[in-house]
Amino acid sequence: MKRLKVGVLFVTSNWFRQVGVQEEGGSLSAEVETIGREAVDRIAAFADTVYDGVLYSEQSARAAARNILKQNVRVLVVSSLMWCEDQVLRAALSELPDLPVILFTLIPSRDLPPFLSYTRMLKGSGTVGSLQFSGMLRREGRQYISLTGFYGDEGLYNSLGIHLKALELKEKLKSLKVGVLPFPCSQMSTTYVDEFALRAAYGVELRYLELARLKSLAEKVTLPEAAEFRRRIDASGIRVSVEEEELDWAIRSSLGLQKLSEAENISVMAMNDVTAEMHAALGLRPSLFNPDFSGGDAVVSMEADIAAGIGLYLLKQLSGKPALYTEVLGLDIAENSLLLGHAGYHDAALADSSVPVKIVHDVEYKTSDRYKGACTCFKMRPGPVTLVNSVFHEKRFKWTAVSGESLPGPEKLEDTAHLMFRPVISVSSLIDCAVESGVSQHWLALPGDYLEELRILACWLPADLTVLS
């Protein structure tokens, strides 16, 4: 992923120089410059920085802003390193009217000594500037957030890194292509989106794809390509419980899906796997895990759920891990857990290593399709999970999320990728809150605790986020 470019505006007041409290080249100025330089070096771990030193005049602020303007910067990190009036910052922002701001209040020490000299107080007085800037930014309608902490605290920069990652994803959405194969799912209208509103809000483009083209690509898969795919299945230790003819066409269909996605530069494949046209064209639905396809940015949602597919993509980008596409297939009220699973295409990198991964016939279509199908099935590994529902509502994403855990234990559901999920709230409350909020049936199970990252992403996109707790 191309790194985000960040404009860094660290400001102080010129007034202290004018009245002689702060000397040019004195120890206070040097210490503030050092703090600024160290902070920029830490920010550079997360993004490319454009920084012209500590600014204390309107002239230098305008010059720094013009330099930022030339560099394709997407966000400003602003810090008042000492007490500061807002005219220096206003001079810079007048040249940069559309960029969001992270207001970064850097405290020079973790604690205060028993007694402070006036100069020592000035060194730690940047909060005055942050509070003053906030009123100006809010009144002028500038999008901004605040982060405050000791300038040497690694956790502070990690938090900043999450915000920069979210802004990076916001930029990446502007070039995202979603493939709809072949058209929306008329059986489930909650999966529909207003594609014009989606493009206006986030820049996402939909591409409608032909089943005949997918079939042609599958048929053109070479013998060596299919054989290499088969060899990798054998090497992985996956248990194969389908006939070779079935497996061969499933391999070709999976490789065809990859080729179609790559040809159209598609990262989200919203596959209408329940439409009769797909089964007539291919004789199955592509459900065989392809590690080369899923190893990059690509994700697949079933039932042509575009918002859920984009949710899969964002969660993968945010965490570096795939999420399991599921729906609620059962409630165990006694054990306060949900059986989550879904037929179709899934990423076997999520599998529980203690339970065998299997390739089986398609449990839903094996008696009606031309082929019985070959689907990769597994139980998701145990551990913390962030469960997310993603719909498109009133011209923006609406997310509902809850944390919990994927439970250890044996396989629970026949021939379907699944997990047993225990939320932090009661399963009855989860269902009631979700239903009353208005969601879809599809839930994305992401390994790990990512509620804070999701909150930050929702802030910047923006999206509406409800956390059930």
Q: Is residue 163 located within the same domain as residue 272?
A: no
d(CA 205, CA 176): 6
Residue 463 CB neighbour total at 10 angstroms = 20
Tens-place pLDDT, residues 217-238: 999 999 999 999 999 999 999 9
Kindly write down the DSSP assignment for every residue of 62-117, as one continuous string: HHHHHHHHHTT--EEEEEESSS--SHHHHHHHTT-TT--EEEEEEESSSS--SS--
**Phi-psi group of 20: left, alpha or beta (phi > 0 → left; psi -120 to 50 → alpha; rest → beta):** left
Q: Is residue 259 located within the same domain as residue 241?
A: yes
Indicate the burial class of 307 (C-beta count within 10 angstroms; 0-12, 13-18, 19 or more).
Answer: buried
Q: What is the pLDDT of residue 31?
A: 86
d(CA 358, CA 375): 8
Q: What is the pLDDT of residue 23?
A: 56
Which one-letter DSSP state was computed for residue 382? P
In the three-class reduction of DSSP (H, G, I as helix; E, B as strand; rest coil), residue 387 is classed as: strand
Tens-place pLDDT, residues 265-296: 999 999 999 999 999 999 999 999 999 999 99
Residue bearing the bigger pLDDT, 84 or 40: 40
Q: What is the pLDDT averaged over residues 175-181? A: 98
Q: Is residue 138 located within the same domain as residue 210?
A: no
Q: Is residue 120 located within the same domain as residue 63?
A: yes
Q: Is residue 211 located within the same domain as residue 342?
A: yes
Q: What is the pLDDT of residue 15?
A: 60
Q: Is residue 328 located within the same domain as residue 404?
A: yes
Q: Which long-range contacts (CB under 8 A, 24 or more apart) does 312-315 make?
A: 312/268, 312/444, 313/176, 313/267, 313/268, 314/169, 314/173, 314/457, 315/386, 315/388, 315/444, 315/446, 315/450
Domain count, the chain: 2
Tens-place pLDDT, residues 321-359: 999 999 999 999 999 999 999 999 999 999 999 999 999
Last residue of a domain, one of 123, 152, 173: 173
Tens-place pLDDT, residues 9-29: 999 876 666 555 555 655 777
Beta strand 299-302 with 268-271: parallel, antiparallel or unpaired?
Answer: parallel
Cis peptide preceding 447, ω within 30 of 0 = no
Q: Is residue 328 located within the same domain as residue 285?
A: yes
Q: Is residue 56 located within the same domain as residue 164?
A: yes
Give the CATH number for residue 101. Answer: 3.40.50.10940
Q: pLDDT category, 369, cuts 50, 70, 90?
A: very high
Q: What is the pLDDT of residue 100?
A: 96
d(CA 179, CA 267): 8
Q: Residue 92: is its pLDDT beyond 70?
A: yes
- Identify the domain containing residue 331 by its residue range: 177-467
* CA dist 427 → 221, 432, 446 (Å): 46, 9, 18
Q: What is the pLDDT of residue 351?
A: 98
- Which tokens is 370 given? 């031309």
Q: What is the pLDDT of residue 74?
A: 95
Q: What is the pLDDT averaged over residues 37-50? A: 97
Which one-letter DSSP state was computed for residue 191? G
Q: Residue 124: is its pLDDT beyond 90?
A: no
**Phi-psi group of 25: left, alpha or beta (phi > 0 → left; psi -120 to 50 → alpha; rest → beta):** left
Q: Is residue 182 located within the same domain as residue 165?
A: no
Q: Which of 20-34, 43-57, 132-146, 426-440 has the lowest mean pLDDT?
A: 20-34
Q: What is the pLDDT of residue 85?
A: 82
Q: What is the pLDDT of residue 120?
A: 82
Give the CATH number for residue 435. Answer: 3.20.14
Q: Residue 464: is its pLDDT beyond 60?
A: yes
Last residue of a domain, one of 153, 173, 193: 173
Q: Are 430 and 468 in contact (CB under 8 A)?
A: yes
Q: What is the pLDDT of residue 118?
A: 81
Q: Which long-range contacts (CB under 8 A, 24 or more apart) does 438-441 make?
A: 438/391, 438/393, 439/389, 439/391, 439/398, 439/400, 440/188, 440/190, 440/191, 440/305, 440/307, 440/308, 440/389, 440/390, 440/391, 441/188, 441/190, 441/327, 441/328
Q: What is the pLDDT of residue 49?
A: 97
Q: What is the pLDDT averaged over residues 368-396? A: 96
Which one-letter DSSP state was computed for residue 55? B
Q: Is residue 143 located within the same domain as residue 210?
A: no
The pLDDT mean for the chain works out to 94
Q: Residue 161: is its pLDDT beyond 90?
A: yes
Q: What is the pLDDT of residue 20?
A: 56
Q: pLDDT category, 123, cuts 50, 70, 90?
A: confident
Q: pLDDT category, 415, cuts 50, 70, 90?
A: very high
Among the listed residues 208, 187, 194, 183, the one whose alpha carbon sits nearest the alpha carbon of residue 441: 187
Q: Is residue 108 located within the same domain as residue 222?
A: no
Q: pLDDT category, 4, cuts 50, 70, 90?
A: very high
Last residue of a domain, one of 173, 188, 212: 173
Q: Are 403 and 384 in contact (CB under 8 A)?
A: yes
- What crossing angle do the helices spanning 211-219 and 244-263 adopt, rounded to 10°? 120
Kindly write down the DSSP assignment for every residue of 389-432, as one continuous string: EEEEETTEEEEEEEEEEEPPSS--STTSEEEEEEESS-HHHHHH
* CA dist 382 → 311, 387, 408 (Å): 22, 14, 5
Q: Is residue 91 located within the same domain as residue 29?
A: yes
In the three-class reduction of DSSP (H, G, I as helix; E, B as strand; rest coil), residue 352 is classed as: coil
Q: What is the pLDDT averaged over residues 112-124? A: 87
Kindly report the pTM of this predicted structure.
0.94
